């Protein structure tokens, strides 16, 4: 890919936009030294760059430690605690979406970029709200009688999600219109799908299903089951992914600054501080899962060359473990590292999935289990597992053996079956899909996350992040009102938002 060079130029474009929830693009037109018109294709690339927040949430990032996929043994490079602080909001990226929408109005064919703009608005409002709760939405990035709203009100999380669902329905309709206008491959600036509107529509609809299933506790307030059913029963209107080739994924390359995070260049630097996480690896061990040989190496201390597939040699670190003893065990060769062949033999590595086919299949299986739609939950569950195994290149014989094993055969539309679906969904999220593994745990409690002395949050896994300090400095009245309304006035990382009640 040549996106890195393009990203450098995008930094100039980004300077055009004012960060924050009160940005007004119109005000920038008065400055003759700033660009007043930017092609939607260039804005799209910048929005996608913001969406691919790889340093913060990509493979082998801190987010993936919070997902309990891996642990870090050196406190100099990071910690294992859950004493979360504030999270950044994404209004800077949304200002680029707003600008893209403005430029779209000048085009003869408006639908293709307009549909994507609606999706991005839905994506980033969901991104922010599920992290903190209520957020500015209706007054964010808006002008009032030609004046910037510098202190936007906070919309309730319920209203945010009603609007997110509306935007996703509108995006689907508009992308259908766009395909009638320009065909399927006419979106420039797209480094995820190379402009393929068919694939974009499928991904948007899978994201729509993700949002609906995330609202599983709110079926009495929002008719999510009926909306889910409408989508599943109308595949011509709401096309979905048909295989892993439809995954929305970010590819890496051997170009500078676009390498996979683990690669030959940093083998000597981080090989012995990246430890496989027990929450994840122990699920693979318990089920004799062939994916374990793809993602992890056996601990050297326990490895026996005469019995190379012995699962007892695969030893992970608990997320709650103190780092000192963890480092001692690592130095003694008693812990498993990421698979050297898979993760350190190439700068390209593996694709990073943002929205994928395996997740889609597990979501539908869960919806059937919950009684939202009719169908064969076992079939979708099995296809989700197979899609994940195909991603890792597991051979068909091993896949069949695994699917027929007693621990894996679907136990029915009951609590046990739901636990199986959610557990395998967690496994499929390994090093992918940002924090979806955590968000699914937060919603369902499955799988159980490890808590130990390194937790530093009173033995709890947090349920949210704090609002940014800038909001208290620049929009104090409204952020305090939002805290009073939701959390009794405290910006507590263990408080329970509307989404989870």
**CATH number of the CATH domain containing 109:** 1.25.40.390
* 419 and 451 share one domain: no
Confidence band (pLDDT; 50, 70, 90) for 146? low
Is 469 domain-assigned?
A: no
First-to-last CA distance in the chain?
44
Q: What does the alpha-carbon distance between residue 7 and residue 190 come to, in Å, rounded to a whole number?
A: 12
From residue 251, give the alpha-carbon distance in Å to each of 1, 221, 298, 350, 369.
Answer: 8, 39, 28, 7, 34
If we measure between CA atoms, which residue out of 163, 144, 188, 164 comes closest to residue 26?
144
Burial of 32-65, coded b for 16+ CB within 10 Å and e otherwise, reads: eeeeeebbbebbbbbbbbbbbbbeebbbbbebbb
Q: What is the mean pLDDT of residues 277-292?
A: 98
Report pLDDT digits (tens) over 365-401: 999 999 999 999 999 999 999 999 999 999 999 999 9
Q: Assess if residue 42 is contained within a domain.
A: no
Cβ atoms of 355 and 372 within 8 Å: the answer is no
Is the same domain home to 219 and 107? yes
Model confidence at 275: pLDDT above 80: yes
pLDDT value, residue 19 = 38
Say which DSSP state 434 is in: T
Q: Residues 188, 306: one domain?
A: no
Mean pLDDT of 102-120: 90
Q: What is the mean pLDDT of residues 242-259?
A: 96
Indicate whether 104 and 203 sit together in one domain. yes
How high is the mean pLDDT of the chain? 92
Its pTM stands at: 0.93
Q: What are the b/e assignments for 108-128, b being 16+ CB within 10 Å?
A: eebbbbbbbbbbbbbbbbbbb
What is the torsion angle, in degrees rounded to the nearest 10, for the CA atoms of residue 466, residue 469, residue 471 and residue 473?
150
How many Å apart are CA 78 and CA 97, to the nearest integer?
Answer: 33
Q: Which residues contact 147 (CB under 8 A, 6 or more apart)?
A: none
ω before 447 within 30° of 0 (cis)?
Answer: yes
Same-domain status, 78 and 137: no
Residues 6+ apart with CB under 8 A from 266: none
Residues 159 and 231 in one domain: yes
List, in sequence order, every beta strand (DSSP E) within 108-151. 143-144, 147-148
- C-alpha 171/C-alpha 165 separation (Å) is 10
Q: Residue 29: which pLDDT band, with cuts at 50, 70 and 90?
A: very low
Structural domain includes residue 174: yes
- Does the residue 403 lie in any domain? yes
Structural domain boundaries enclosing 452: 52-85+252-350+443-462
Indicate the number of domains in the chain: 3
**Spatial separation of the C-alpha atoms in residues 307 and 314, rounded to whole Å:** 12
**Mean pLDDT across 51-57:** 94
Q: Which residues pair with 135 in a beta bridge?
A: 155
**What pLDDT is attached to residue 105?**
84
- Across 417-429, average pLDDT: 99
Instruction: Give backbone dihedrals phi and psi of 324, rounded to 5 degrees, phi first.
Output: -60, -60
Give the model's confidence band at 141: pLDDT under 50 very low, under 70 low, under 90 confident, else very high: confident
471 domain-assigned:
no
Measured distance CA(310)–CA(285) in Å, rounded: 10
Tell me the CA distances in angstroms from 190 to 3, 249, 349, 499, one per residue in order.
10, 12, 21, 32
470 found inside a domain:
no
């Amino acid at each position: 890919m040549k996106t890195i060079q393009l990203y450098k130029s995008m930094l100039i474009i980004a300077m055009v936009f004012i960060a924050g929830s009160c940005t007004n693009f119109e005000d920038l037109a008065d400055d003759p030294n700033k660009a007043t018109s930017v092609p939607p294709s260039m804005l799209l690339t910048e929005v996608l760059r913001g969406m691919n927040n790889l340093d913060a949430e990509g493979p082998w990032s801190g987010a993936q430690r919070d997902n309990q996929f891996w642990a870090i043994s050196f406190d100099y490079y990071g910690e294992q605690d859950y004493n979360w602080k504030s999270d950044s909001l994404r209004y800077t990226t949304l200002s680029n979406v707003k600008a893209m929408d403005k430029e779209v109005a000048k085009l003869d064919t408006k639908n293709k970029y307009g549909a994507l703009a609606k999706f991005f608005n839905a994506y980033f409002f969901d991104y922010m709200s599920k992290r903190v709760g209520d957020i500015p939405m209706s007054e964010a990035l808006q002008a009032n009688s030609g004046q910037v709203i510098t202190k936007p009100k906070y919309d309730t999380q319920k209203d945010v999600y009603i609007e997110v669902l509306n935007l996703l329905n509108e995006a689907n309709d508009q992308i259908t219109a766009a395909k009638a206008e320009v065909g399927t491959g006419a979106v420039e600036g797209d480094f995820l799908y190379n402009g393929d509107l068919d694939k974009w529509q499928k991904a948007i609809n899978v994201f729509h299903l993700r949002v609906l299933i995330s609202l599983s506790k709110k079926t009495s307030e929002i008719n999510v089951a009926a909306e889910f059913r409408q989508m599943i029963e109308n595949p011509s209107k709401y096309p979905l992914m048909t295989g892993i080739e439809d995954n929305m994924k970010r590819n890496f390359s051997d170009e500078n600054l676009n390498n996979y995070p683990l690669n030959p260049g940093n083998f000597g630097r981080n090989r012995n501080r990246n430890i496989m996480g027990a929450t994840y690896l122990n699920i693979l061990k318990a089920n004799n899962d062939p994916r374990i040989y793809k993602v992890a190496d056996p601990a050297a201390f326990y490895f026996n060359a005469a019995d190379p597939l012995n699962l007892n040699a695969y030893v992970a670190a608990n997320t709650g473990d103190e780092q000192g003893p963890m480092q001692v065990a690592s130095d003694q060769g008693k812990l498993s590292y990421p698979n050297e062949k898979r993760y350190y033999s190439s700068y390209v590595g593996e694709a990073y999935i943002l929205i994928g086919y395996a997740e889609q299949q597990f979501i539908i299986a869960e919806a059937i289990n919950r009684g939202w739609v009719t169908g064969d939950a076992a079939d979708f569950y099995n296809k989700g597992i197979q899609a994940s195994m195909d991603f890792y290149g597991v051979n068909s014989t091993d896949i069949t053996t695994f699917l027929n094993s007693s621990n894996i055969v679907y136990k029915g539309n009951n609590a046990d079956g739901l636990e199986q679906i959610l557990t395998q969904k967690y496994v499929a999220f390994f090093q992918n899909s940002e924090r979806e593994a955590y968000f699914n745990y937060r919603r369902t409690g499955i799988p159980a996350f490890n808590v130990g002395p390194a937790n530093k949050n009173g033995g709890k896994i947090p349920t949210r992040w704090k609002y940014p300090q800038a909001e208290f400095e620049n929009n104090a009245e409204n952020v305090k009102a939002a805290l009073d309304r939701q959390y009794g006035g405290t910006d507590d990382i263990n408080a329970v938002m509307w989404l989870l009640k």
